[in-house]
Amino acid sequence: MAEDCPLFSYTSGTTGDSKGVKLSHKNVLAAAYTIIPHARTNPGQAQISYLPYPHSFEQVMTFYGAVIGTKIGFYQGDPLKLSDDCGKLKPVIFPSVPRLFNKFYQKINDGIQ
């Protein structure tokens, strides 16, 4: 049923304490469908999955992949090998969170300095 809650979803806590909510089928599918006009991926293209599955964004992206028909590649489990995983998978979409982008930014900035 559309209102059944098959998932508990949690945020990473980047902006404060981690938060958990129950998500219904309807919630998750609505979120997945809102990504479609923005992600511009096609069936058969790849996306990478490396966020913990309880994270709300990872759950939505998994449903998005199922709705669109993208291949979902799972990383090896070692964050230090994430770039190797991307090199092999060649994802056209890289779902991420602010914490990782902040790390990228800091590393690039350190290199410039």
Cβ atoms of 30 and 1 closer than 8 Å: no
| 54 pLDDT higher than 70 | yes
Entry pTM: 0.73
Cβ atoms of 5 and 23 closer than 8 Å: yes
Dist. CA 91–CA 95, nearest whole Å: 10
Q: What pLDDT, in 10s, does the model give residues 65-113?
A: 999 999 999 999 998 888 899 999 999 988 888 888 888 888 889 989 8
pLDDT confidence of residue 80 = 84
Q: What pLDDT, in 10s, does the model give residues 34-47?
A: 988 888 899 999 99
Question: Which domains are assigned to the chain?
Answer: 7-112 (3.40.50.980)
Dist. CA 109–CA 102, nearest whole Å: 10
